[in-house]
Amino acid sequence: MATIHDVAKLAKVSIATVSRVLSHPEKVSPKTRQLVVEAMNQLDYRPNSMAQNLRRLQSNIIIALMPDIKNPFFSEVFRGIEDRAREAGFKILVGSTDRNKEKEKEYINLLKESWADGVILTTAEIDRRFIDELAQRRPLVLACEYIPGSPYPSVSIDNESAARKITKHLILQGHKRVAHIAGPSSIILSVARLTGYLQALHQSGLIEDEALIQEGDFTLQSGYDLANKLLSLKNPPTAIFAANDEMAIGAMKAIQDKGIRVPEDVAVAGFDDINVASFVTPSLTTIRQPRYKIGQTSVDLLLKVINHEPLDQPQIVLEDELIVRHSTTLNPELVM
């Protein structure tokens, strides 16, 4: 691998000149510049980034932490992060934390080792110590989640109002007993969606029923299991709103396995609009989040913080959209 010295020797100039050709070409006379460029090409020279990093004391790496990249929701957010970061000359290191304290600690250590220039966190727990510890060391941006009263920049939708919106859609279809399969209560956005659900009930004059609220873990299996639990209630729900699409798909499966029809007997709604949502049968009513854009925007925000640019709007809220499909209605006029 050719170094800057090899290029300098071949072009018969000093290493300083070679370096300048790359960083400040205008400070080098066209003639020598030409010479140097030729030498670079001849040797296929690339500056060693490890040396650049050390010298500049920055790595051009962003760490993207998420609970699990296998989750299709996160993986699309991640693509937004990845693509925008690459455009800006940054590399992305992914970390799946599995919401595991040990692993989280490893990533904090990475920051202590000056490993990255910033962090994007795509989920947040009620327990904010982890976030605080990260933010204390490097610029941090929250994607997907907004923590009320928190100082950290964030990009998200309004989970509460979106949940309210989709719950009201179910109520408008005539449902009086609407169940909710929530996400883990330790996660902030789970709480926001649950809150939105409850608000919709109250605003519609319905009373909540403890038995109709179950806490899942965002997996297909938990949706399946909890729907079964709901269906075996003596007074089962006629509609189920799951806090994400995977739990909703699991719930639909449980319902159909029992020979019950969706949406005629039980309506099902999800959240996120993952790709497969429109390809299950019946297709799934859900809230569409601009996942890719959330990822992109969080990188934009983070880069501003890294470059000490002022943020005119630290907490960005993007638009969501209610997507009505066949899992909640047979009325073709409602379905997009």
Partner DNA sequence: TTGTACGCGTTATCAT
Partner DNA sequence: ATGATAACGCGTACAA
Tally of CA atoms within 13 A in the half-sphere of 4 that contains its CB: 14
55 binds DNA per the rule CB under 7 A = yes
**172-to-113, 168, 189, 211, 264 alpha-carbon distances in Å:** 54, 6, 24, 22, 15
Q: Which is nearer to DNA, 30 or 148 (CB)?
A: 30
Q: Which does 69 bind (CB under 5 to 8 A by kind): its own copies, DNA, none?
A: its own copies
Cis peptide, bond prior to residue 263, ω within 30 of zero = yes
**56 is an interface residue for DNA by CB under 7 A:** yes
From the list its own copies, DNA, none, partner contacted by residue 92 (C-beta under 5 to 8 A by kind):
its own copies
Residues 140 to 169: which contact its own copies by CB under 8 A? none
What residue type is assigned to position 333 of the chain? E
Tokens for 172, please give them. 């408008």
CB-based contact 287:320 (threshold 8 Å): yes
293 is a site residue for its own copies (CB under 8 A): no
Binding segment for DNA (CB under 7 A), chosen from 25-33, 200-208, 213-221, 312-320, is 25-33
Using the contact rule CB under 7 A, the part of the chain among 16-24, 80-88, 126-134, 319-327 near DNA is 16-24
Question: Alpha-carbon torsion 180, 247, 232, 256, what sign?
Answer: positive
Q: Which does 15 bind (CB under 5 to 8 A by kind): DNA, its own copies, none?
A: DNA
Dist. CA 229–CA 211, nearest whole Å: 10
**With left for phi above 0 and alpha for psi between -120 and 50, is residue 266 left, alpha or beta?**
beta
45 binds DNA (CB under 7 A): yes
What are phi and psi for residue 69, nearest 5 degrees?
-70, -15
Q: Which residues of this chain interact with its own copies, rule CB under 8 A?
A: 1, 44, 46-51, 53-54, 57, 59, 61, 68-70, 72, 75-76, 78-79, 82-83, 86, 91-96, 103, 106, 109-110, 112-115, 220, 224, 246, 249-250, 252-253, 256-257, 275-276, 279-281, 283
Q: Which residues of this chain interact with DNA, rule CB under 7 A?
A: 1, 3-5, 12-17, 19-20, 22-24, 27-29, 31-33, 45-48, 51-52, 54-57
